[in-house]
Amino acid sequence: MKKAFICLSLAALVGVFAVSCKQNTTTQAETETETAQTAAQKGAIVYFNLDKVLEEYDMANDLRSVVETKVNSIQQEVNRRGNKLEKDIAAFQDKIDKGLLTRSVAEVQSADLQKRQQDFQNYAAQKQQEIAEEQQVMLNQIADAIKAYLDEYNAEKQFAMILTTQGGILPAPVAVASPELDVTEEVLAGLNEAYVKTKAEGEKKQ
């Protein structure tokens, strides 16, 4: 008896990370080599592709892997219990069809199976809620990490606003913009660099 579970999706992160400008006198040094540094100027409205960030952000991938493992374990146990219940119901019905049970015995077993069905439905609903909570916590952790990085990033860049955009054919909310306003690569590189440092610090404390 397979139950439908909420699939892992990060679409809940769609939106706008609007970052207020902070006073900062630091200027960006010019370089002659190609880097991930954006050409957008102070006070500009820039954007980054959230789909690409979520796909290539190491923290998002690590968290997703952990949650997927938990979800698979939960689903396997729910399916195991559901299949066992289905087999017992089928065996009971077969005995009824063959007239192998007295009415009194059949009534007792039927009542027991009905109770087991209700218990299983409650169990499956509880596990589905656990999955939803695991996914929401993951989304919150990713969103919090991105927002924290953007606050630091914009303290240096001093953009008027940083937007997120999603989609391939006609991305939204940024459908068309000058390439220099796309800070995706710079944001992604900064997020992964910060995550590496955080992981390293955590491993040292262990």
Tell me the per-residue pLDDT of 79-124, one tens digit each, with 9 for 90 and over. 999 999 999 999 999 999 999 999 999 999 999 999 999 999 999 9
Q: Is residue 195 part of a domain?
A: yes
Q: Is residue 1 part of a domain?
A: no
**Confidence at residue 37, expressed as pLDDT on a 0 to 100 scale:** 55
Question: By residue range, what is the domain housing residue 142?
Answer: 11-72+132-205
**Confidence at residue 206, expressed as pLDDT on a 0 to 100 scale:** 65
Number of H helices, E strands in the chain: 4, 2
pTM above 0.95, yes or no: no
Q: How far apart are CA 49 and CA 197, in angstroms?
A: 23
What tokens does 188 get? 């992604």
> pLDDT band for position 38 (50/70/90)?
low
Rounded to the nearest 5°, which phi and psi values hold at 164? -110, 150
Q: Is residue 51 part of a domain?
A: yes
Q: Looking at the predicted structure, is the pLDDT value of residue 204 above 60?
A: yes
**Confidence at residue 39, expressed as pLDDT on a 0 to 100 scale:** 79
How many domains, in total, are found in the chain? 1
Q: Is residue 95 part of a domain?
A: no
CB atoms within 10 A of CB 132: 12
Q: Is residue 190 part of a domain?
A: yes
Place of tokens 């054919």: 169
Q: Is residue 151 part of a domain?
A: yes
